[in-house]
A and B are shown apart, each in its own frame.
Chain A
């Protein structure tokens, strides 16, 4: 840079510039009169433009990418299309192929084959719901060892000759015993048989509740309508809705809390450990492939119920639990709690007693009621002065609790116990499958709807794991493996959806961004932009001058 030389300097006297002369001549003739700096050296001009260029290069090549990198939100790639397909039920049609063995030792192989074919036809005619398919097969003769596929069969039909056609479910095993009159065996040529129709009808009624439940599940989800059943009667739909309301959300573990509340000082102890071992453990053991249970118990004396009335109306029952004072939510561990309360007091339930008096059944009044998704309360009337509740006295409450536990878990009401349990497994796997699919859909819609939410890579991992397990669950639906896969899929989907770091981003309108950036970038940007503009102007002026000079040379 060339500095203007001070006026009083020696140099000024030695070499008076043209400006100095002008100053003395016309002091009042305007800006031209000002003292002009000496012309810049071309090397200085070049250097200045390089400086400005380098500033801009740093801003554009370094600053901008860094700013972009540090302020952009990481969004992992999610397979949105596939996720939405799962949610819409296009990726998987839940089909439950139920294998049913027919054990007909008294029949010839040919006859049995024929019967099987006819029964299958009859079944296919009866069936209006493609998602739930019964497939018959002949079981191997008893001499052969059972194959691995034999275990997967949902039901075995044992055909025994008898006098009339009867059917009964074996209480211990998933076996349907059917007797048939000797003349009912279809001949090889007949196209229909009363026995086949009978067997088909029996099978259908056995699985009716399961079928209705699964079709209800599908209809309440967003599955496409083609796989839905055609007709659910309003009342059956209502009872199914009621059951869906009552049953708890699936969890691998439930926490059972047994509480004894007494209105007075007595009884103060109970034999609950023995009672549970006697009356409830067997059912818990049977349920163990599907759920785990943890148990705790408590006793509280002088507990006042939420309703002080002696006779409880139906409306009172829901407010009977004194939520403010009864310690009913232990929040132990992460498992949801099911409450079983025994209340010792003098309360009775009103409506039911009147009804039972009407029916002349003496002292049998209702003692208990079920609160959906919460548990059961049992009113236990005791003679005064009972200090200890024996295991025998707890039998009735615990039996009630047991049956309520089954309905809280969503088990169907009809059928033999083994069948109910296997049905429960299938209903739960369908439920989990649908739930995981809908969670995937929610996540996908969320990712589309909130462009400012960050999606860490763990979410993408979770989604891919979910879809892997969903695919496997869909292939093996109906068996224990399917349930396991559906369980993993649901857990992973939940984990992906509830990813902890997906919340940090708050809504940031554009005005806020300007307010944040302007105080910082404004002062920096002004010299940068002005410098650039000045430089561009000077460059244009230089070009013009050069052109003019060139023209002037030509003129000469």
Chain B
């Protein structure tokens, strides 16, 4: 172990030297988080608490609510069994109320479905979907995808009714990559046999991590005796522990490597896995990504220089004023010209508006089809009764 570390050092140094050049290329300008809980009912309290704790952390690190998609299939705060109504805690000390008063759930209850999740990722939504429920990312966006719930070998159960397969997820990510909807993705999953879920991914620029290997369970950390159920899972608990203790603010320089190294079997009771091979630069590059590249909202800003730009700006303003005036004048002239030309024509062309059926796709064809079907049925009945008649 020691020796391999020793050999790894030059490689790390080389990566650190190479890193700045790559950062220029892969600079991101926005951070998004998709936080998904997939299980409902009271005894799954811990899954909702997992998601809400991650939600709180990414918000603390600066991702605005408009860039967090939170999917909660159930409302633990208002569950009648909740001894502390209106609150959700992820720790038995009950120090932090995760529900708080400033929480924006985007998909709630029965809206949390596989279809909606895939629609969200691929942005195949109708015009009626508000902007706050859409993942409006582009090729400069880093996305954190966190999922928790009950999983199995290559699937994750959604709400006891359906499941998402590892292939579905991989295809959704591929569609996102094709459409340049992300710069980099950190995929985290805390379920039983979680590592199987990212095994089928094939799109580039993804770092994936999961809580447990094939045939391993993911365990809860501890229960709160007053609430009466387990309140958080081990993997999420230790992720949060790292984020809260080591990543105090957005200026933190902790890397994903540090985070992944903090997962040990003693703590999590299962083998947390990490997948680096999809990331350009492999393990080294991925491990050197800052934690805040995914959990925070940090961009390179451009500070304005000295004050002599103000002169330029005023020039700009006066110029645009005159140009606008010129445009205005030209337009007026043009309008006057066209008015003179078309004064006679306009009067003779009254605009008629036709009434249109709401769905105008081959309305007549459908009508004819229906009529034919009815006529056919009637004919059949007629023939039948005719044939029956002579027999009697």
13 contacts between A and B (CB under 8 A): A285-B320, A286-B323, A314-B301, A318-B299, A324-B102, A329-B65, A329-B132, A368-B304, A370-B301, A370-B304, A372-B29, A403-B316, A450-B171
The 8 Å CB contact of B63, one of A323, A406, A497, A499, is: A323
Contact B316 A324, beta carbon cutoff 8 Å: no
Is B4 an interface position by the 8 A CB rule?
no
Smallest beta-carbon distance A441→chain B, Å = 8
Contact A323 B62, beta carbon cutoff 8 Å: yes
Is A310 an interface position by the 8 A CB rule?
no
Is A374 an interface position by the 8 A CB rule?
yes
Q: Which of B131-158 contact A (CB under 8 A)?
A: 131-132, 136, 138, 140
* Nearest 10 Cβ contacts at the A-B interface: A323-B64, A329-B66, A364-B307, A507-B167, A319-B250, A399-B313, A331-B131, A282-B320, A442-B178, A285-B324
Distance A375 CA – B251 CA, assembled complex (angstroms): 21
A282 CB contacts on chain B under 8 angstroms: 317, 320-321, 323-324
B102 CB contacts on chain A under 8 angstroms: 324-325
The 8 Å CB contact of A318, one of B65, B179, B250, is: B250
Is B280 an interface position by the 8 A CB rule?
no
Distance A373 CA – B303 CA, assembled complex (angstroms): 14
Q: Which of B116-124, B227-235, B281-289 contacts A (4 or more CB under 8 A)?
A: B116-124
Distance A318 CA – B30 CA, assembled complex (angstroms): 11
Q: Which of A71-79, A117-125, A133-141, A241-249 contacts B (4 or more CB under 8 A)?
A: A241-249
Is A299 an interface position by the 8 A CB rule?
no
Given contacts A171-B319, A319-B250, A499-B124, contact A371 B299 (CB under 8 A): yes
Q: Which of A405-455 contact B (CB under 8 A)?
A: 406, 416-418, 438-439, 442, 445-446, 449-450
Is A369 an interface position by the 8 A CB rule?
yes
Interface residue count for A (Cβ, 8 Å)?
71
B316 CB contacts on chain A under 8 angstroms: 283, 399, 402-403, 406, 417
Given contacts A324-B64, A324-B65, contact A319 B304 (CB under 8 A): no
B131 CB contacts on chain A under 8 angstroms: 331, 334
Q: Which of A225-282 contact B (CB under 8 A)?
A: 238, 241, 245-246, 249, 279, 281-282
Interface residue count for B (Cβ, 8 Å)?
71
Is A328 an interface position by the 8 A CB rule?
yes
Q: Which residues of A contact B (CB under 8 A)?
A: 171-172, 238, 241, 245-246, 249, 279, 281-283, 285-286, 306, 314-319, 321, 323-325, 328-329, 331, 334, 336, 349, 351-352, 356, 359, 361, 364, 366-374, 396, 399-400, 402-403, 406, 416-418, 438-439, 442, 445-446, 449-450, 497-500, 502-504, 506-507, 509
The 8 Å CB contact of A245, one of B125, B140, B174, B250, is: B140
Is B27 an interface position by the 8 A CB rule?
yes
A246 CB contacts on chain B under 8 angstroms: 29, 302
Is B130 an interface position by the 8 A CB rule?
yes
Q: Which of B247-265 contact A (CB under 8 A)?
A: 249-251
Distance A272 CA – B65 CA, assembled complex (angstroms): 27
Is B108 an interface position by the 8 A CB rule?
no
Distance A328 CA – B67 CA, assembled complex (angstroms): 11
Is B75 an interface position by the 8 A CB rule?
no
Q: Which residue of B lies closest to A279 (CB)?
A: B317
Distance A334 CA – B122 CA, assembled complex (angstroms): 18
Q: Which residue of B lies closest to A317 (CB)?
A: B301
Distance A484 CA – B322 CA, assembled complex (angstroms): 26
Smallest beta-carbon distance B67→chain A, Å = 8
Q: Which residue of A lies closest to B131 (CB)?
A: A331
Smallest beta-carbon distance A81→chain B, Å = 18
B175 CB contacts on chain A under 8 angstroms: 446
Contact A349 B122, beta carbon cutoff 8 Å: no
Smallest beta-carbon distance B103→chain A, Å = 10
Is B59 an interface position by the 8 A CB rule?
yes
Contact A316 B165, beta carbon cutoff 8 Å: no
Distance A229 CA – B131 CA, assembled complex (angstroms): 39
Q: Which residue of A lies closest to B178 (CB)?
A: A442
Is B314 an interface position by the 8 A CB rule?
yes
Distance A499 CA – B309 CA, assembled complex (angstroms): 46
Distance A245 CA – B317 CA, assembled complex (angstroms): 25
Q: Which residue of A lies closest to B319 (CB)?
A: A417
Residue-by-residue, is B27-63 near A (CB-CB < 8 Å gives 1, otherwise 0)? 1011000000000000000000000000000011011
Q: Which residue of B lies closest to A331 (CB)?
A: B131
B29 CB contacts on chain A under 8 angstroms: 245-246, 372-374
A402 CB contacts on chain B under 8 angstroms: 313, 316-317
Q: Which residues of B contact A (CB under 8 A)?
A: 24-25, 27, 29-30, 59-60, 62-66, 102, 114-115, 118-119, 122-127, 130-132, 136, 138, 140, 164-165, 167-168, 171, 174-175, 178-180, 249-251, 296-307, 309-310, 312-317, 319-324, 326-328
Q: Which residue of A lies closest to B296 (CB)?
A: A319
Contact A323 B297, beta carbon cutoff 8 Å: yes
B326 CB contacts on chain A under 8 angstroms: 172
Contact B317 A361, beta carbon cutoff 8 Å: no
The 8 Å CB contact of B307, one of A361, A374, A499, is: A361
Smallest beta-carbon distance A408→chain B, Å = 11
Given contacts A318-B250, A369-B304, A442-B179, contact A503 B324 (CB under 8 A): no
B171 CB contacts on chain A under 8 angstroms: 450, 507
Report the tally of A-B residue pairs with Cβ distances under 8 A: 182
Contact B251 A315, beta carbon cutoff 8 Å: yes
Contact B64 A286, beta carbon cutoff 8 Å: no
Distance A502 CA – B178 CA, assembled complex (angstroms): 15
Q: Which residue of B lies closest to A404 (CB)?
A: B304
Contact B319 A172, beta carbon cutoff 8 Å: yes
Q: Which residue of B lies closest to A506 (CB)?
A: B168
Smallest beta-carbon distance A401→chain B, Å = 10
Contact B65 A283, beta carbon cutoff 8 Å: no
Given contacts A172-B326, A249-B138, A507-B168, contact A329 B313 (CB under 8 A): no
Smallest beta-carbon distance B278→chain A, Å = 16
Q: Which residue of A lies closest to B315 (CB)?
A: A171
B180 CB contacts on chain A under 8 angstroms: 438, 442
Given contacts A323-B59, A374-B30, A439-B179, contact A502 B124 (CB under 8 A): yes
Given contacts A172-B326, A329-B65, contact A324 B179 (CB under 8 A): no
Contact A417 B303, beta carbon cutoff 8 Å: no
Smallest beta-carbon distance A232→chain B, Å = 14
Contact A323 B65, beta carbon cutoff 8 Å: yes
Contact A417 B310, beta carbon cutoff 8 Å: no
Task: Known pairs A323-B59, A331-B131, A402-B313; list 5 more (Cβ under 8 Å).
Answer: A238-B24, A318-B250, A319-B296, A506-B165, A507-B168
Contact A504 B115, beta carbon cutoff 8 Å: yes
Q: Which residue of B lies closest to A315 (CB)?
A: B251
B30 CB contacts on chain A under 8 angstroms: 373-374
Distance A503 CA – B171 CA, assembled complex (angstroms): 11
Contact B179 A372, beta carbon cutoff 8 Å: no
Contact A319 B249, beta carbon cutoff 8 Å: yes
Distance A359 CA – B317 CA, assembled complex (angstroms): 28
Distance A367 CA – B326 CA, assembled complex (angstroms): 34
The 8 Å CB contact of A366, one of B132, B296, B305, is: B305
Distance A368 CA – B306 CA, assembled complex (angstroms): 10
B251 CB contacts on chain A under 8 angstroms: 315-316, 319
The 8 Å CB contact of B66, one of A306, A314, A331, is: A331
The 8 Å CB contact of A324, one of B59, B299, B307, is: B59
The 8 Å CB contact of B303, one of A314, A361, A500, A503, is: A314
Distance A396 CA – B309 CA, assembled complex (angstroms): 11
Distance A136 CA – B189 CA, assembled complex (angstroms): 62
B115 CB contacts on chain A under 8 angstroms: 503-504
Smallest beta-carbon distance A178→chain B, Å = 21
The 8 Å CB contact of B312, one of A285, A403, A500, is: A403
Smallest beta-carbon distance B63→chain A, Å = 7
Contact A371 B125, beta carbon cutoff 8 Å: no
Smallest beta-carbon distance A411→chain B, Å = 11
Distance A399 CA – B310 CA, assembled complex (angstroms): 7
Contact A445 B178, beta carbon cutoff 8 Å: yes
The 8 Å CB contact of B327, one of A285, A352, A399, is: A285
Contact B303 A369, beta carbon cutoff 8 Å: yes
B298 CB contacts on chain A under 8 angstroms: 318-319
